[in-house]
Structure 1
Amino acid sequence: MKYFEDCHGRQIILASKSPRRSELLKKAGLEFTVVLSAYKEEMHLDLRPGQLAEYLALKKAEDVAASHPEALVIGADTIVVVDGIALGQPADAASAREMLEKLSGRSHRVITGFALMCLASGAKKVKSVSTKVYFRHLTAEEIDSYIKSGEPMDKAGAYAIQGGAASFVEKTEGDHYNVVGLPLGEVMRSLKELGC
């Protein structure tokens, strides 16, 4: 079922290559196109984690909006925070292992920032949502096997809660979809606030 085919006659663009974000928006009935942002993430900016996720989401949206000024652009970025350190996507298997070892047997926060913007109308909304995730203790063998699957390599914090890492999670507090990559309820509420 299509609920949102456009926003005031404007094309809706998702500025993300994440198939998980696309899938969530499709499930919500949003009709959109995907245009990849060329913005290169800067994980080491001097910002608090929520601000960092919002900043990165906004930069991705701005990059795509510059070439699509009439469209409503959705940008998003997800980070995992443990010990006050923001973890993005692992660069290689060694960094994936390091991330998973840090997360093993403890809690962390998953923060997704999102930005909705249209240059032509001046509409802009930027927000972040935080979810607390508790991991059980992971054995070295479990970590190695998961890394060999290839799944951690394009995921913030080196895991996919909706994939093979589902068994790592003891519980979550907050929006489950936020951990998948997009706080769907907040995004849809924000679209409605913009009149879509």
Structure 2
Amino acid sequence: MSFLYLASQSPRRAQLLDQLGIAHQPLLADDSEDAEALEAVLPRESATAYVQRVTALKLDAAVQRLKRRGLPAAPVLCADTTVTHGGRILGKPADAADARAMLAQLSGRTHRVLTAVAVQAGRRRFAALSVSQVRFATLTRTQIADYVASGEPMGKAGAYAIQGRAGAFVAHIAGSHSGIMGLPTFETAQLLQQAGFRL
């Protein structure tokens, strides 16, 4: 395989594919596609079921997009990351107040970060799940307010980016640092090898 399509706007995912030495091209949604609707949580849905379902839906949409645009055939990679604490899925904050509330909930506690990855290569689909535990230090109201004011939490699951300023909040992780960033390199490498890439 010479390259793949990355169906994600995340610069972190692109950087992690670069790290693996995988050539990739963006395959982003049209304005007519409602990407946010795919991320709606179903009643009583677990975080594991949610992140795997959303990733599969995103991959389905990306494969259709590839066909619709008549682009050269190549594997397509999708991923989705979610944060969960106390049985609640913490998605992207709706506003600054929501971001502050999420960070206050995570302060001084351990939460889980789940990233599902899926690759479509022809008729074959390969999928994997990375689960990590992250413990935050106890944060003051000022720390939370300053971080939210930076704008970094917006658009991020759980209202933080471990590769950014929030890295200073992380007291301990058990799992995959790259998975917490949005694309677990170990699991992704395994999927890509199954799809025919040489790493």
What is the TM-score with the length of structure 1 in the denominator? 0.90
1:64 to 59, 62, 65: 62
Checking the alignment, whether the CA contact within 8 Å between 1:43 and 1:86 is kept in structure 2 is no
Separation in structure 1 between the aligned mates of residue 56 and residue 107 of structure 2, nearest angstrom: 31
Deviation, structure 1 residue 60: 1.1
Deviation, structure 1 residue 147: 0.5
Separation in structure 1 between the aligned mates of residue 48 and residue 117 of structure 2, nearest angstrom: 10
1:24 aligns with 2:13: no
| Cα distance per residue 1:44-98 (max 9 Å; x no partner) | 2143211211111111111111122433111111000000111111111011011
Deviation, structure 1 residue 149: 0.5
| Cα distance per residue 1:126-181 (max 9 Å; x no partner) | 22110000001000000000001010102110101111001101000011111111
Checking the alignment, whether the CA contact within 8 Å between 1:75 and 1:114 is kept in structure 2 is yes
Checking the alignment, whether the CA contact within 8 Å between 2:128 and 2:191 is kept in structure 1 is no
Deviation, structure 1 residue 108: 0.1
Q: Which amino acid aligns with 1:16?
A: S
Checking the alignment, whether the CA contact within 8 Å between 2:51 and 2:80 is kept in structure 1 is yes
What is the TM-score with the length of structure 2 in the denominator? 0.89
Gapped regions of structure 2 (runs ≥ 5): 68-72
Equivalent in the alignment of 2:51: 53
Equivalent in the alignment of 2:77: 74
Checking the alignment, whether the CA contact within 8 Å between 2:27 and 2:66 is kept in structure 1 is no
Checking the alignment, whether the CA contact within 8 Å between 2:129 and 2:187 is kept in structure 1 is no
1:112 to 110, 115, 120: 115
Gapped regions of structure 1 (runs ≥ 5): 7-11
2:99 to 93, 96, 108: 96
2:25 to 33, 54, 67: 33
The share of aligned pairs that are identical, in percent, is 39
Separation in structure 2 between the aligned mates of residue 95 and residue 19 of structure 1, nearest angstrom: 24
Separation in structure 2 between the aligned mates of residue 189 and residue 74 of structure 1, nearest angstrom: 13
Deviation, structure 1 residue 188: 0.9
Q: Which amino acid aligns with 2:66?
A: H
Deviation, structure 1 residue 5: 2.8
Separation in structure 2 between the aligned mates of residue 195 and residue 71 of structure 1, nearest angstrom: 11
Query: Aligned-pair RMSD on alpha carbons?
Result: 1.3
SS of the residue corresponding to residue 153 of structure 1 reads: coil
